[in-house]
Amino acid sequence: MEALSRLLSKAVLKGLVKGFSVESPTGTAIGVSHLLYANDTLVFCDANAEQVGFLHCVLLCFKAVSGLRINLSKSRLIPVGEVERLPVVAVILGCKVATLPMTYLGLLLGATFKATGVWDRVVERVQRCLAGWKQQYLSKGGMLTLIKSVLSSIPTYFMSLHVILASVVARLQKLQRDFLWGDGGEDFKYHLVDWRRICQPKEVGGLGVRSVVQFNRALLGKWLWRFVRERDRLWRRVVASKFGVVAGD
């Protein structure tokens, strides 16, 4: 991957492939041509036949020097906005075309974080867990343990990146409340204690269930801490370039 990254960087330096640039209010810009994550490589270029042809040549060069063949049948060409002659560009690269929004690493790329549909899969995972548990006999202590260790952890990945919607919070809390007080059955039963009291620490009389809203704030607050500490990281430089930072931040 280091060799591929160097080939792509040299192609950008020669002007053969052009990524996207993030301009700052001061006029400076940061260019991003490709990103590497685990087994995936994301390459950004203009939607024209010339640049896509050069990108295909870079991949062929990588194959020649490394002996590794890139499986373009598993790759996807993802247009951003309106792209003319998209089928022609896809044929040059030799891969299939995907559209936004699409699922990548468990998240919907290209979807607004304010859309409730982004959170549907989180709620569905909670419901699937509850459907299996309702077939078993569980004590109140067992139900409480499952809520703390499983149900509260399912939305962690999404909440570490997005502000959770109030409607989604209400749905998740209702599922947890009904499971705790319903004894695993379908019949309605009265909730004996206010949910806010249950979410308080045990030291003050609560049961220590994690508050969805407060947990979401803590996860997002970690990005502020990383923004201050990780000054040389690419994501931090992109955010600082796009939105600007106050001197000393």
Greatest pairwise CA separation for the chain in angstroms? 70
Which pLDDT tens digit goes with each residue over 86-105? 888 888 888 889 988 888 88
User: Mean per-residue pLDDT for 105-109?
Assistant: 81
Q: What is the pLDDT of residue 101?
A: 85
DSSP letter (8 states) at residue 112: -
Do 52 and 85 form a contact (C-beta atoms < 8 A)?
no
Which pLDDT tens digit goes with each residue over 166-220? 999 999 999 999 888 875 555 666 777 888 899 999 899 899 999 999 999 999 9
Binning pLDDT at 50, 70 and 90, where does residue 117 land? confident
Q: What is the pLDDT of residue 248?
A: 53
More confident residue, 101 or 248: 101
Q: In whole angstroms, give the CA distance from residue 6 to residue 222.
A: 32
Which pLDDT tens digit goes with each residue over 21-66? 888 766 778 889 999 887 888 999 988 889 999 999 999 999 998 8
Range 29-64 burial, b when 16+ CB lie within 10 A, else e: ebeebbeeeeeebebbbebeeebbebbbebbeebee
User: Mean per-residue pLDDT for 78-82?
Assistant: 87
Q: What is the pLDDT of residue 132?
A: 85
User: Mean per-residue pLDDT for 109-137?
Assistant: 85
Q: Where does residue 198 rank: exposed (0-12), middle (13-18), buried (19+ CB within 10 A)? A: buried
Nearest-10 crossing angle of helices 166-181, 120-133: 0
**What is the β-pairing status of strands 40-43 and 76-77?**
unpaired
Name the nearest CA neighbour of 219 among 162, 139, 147. 162
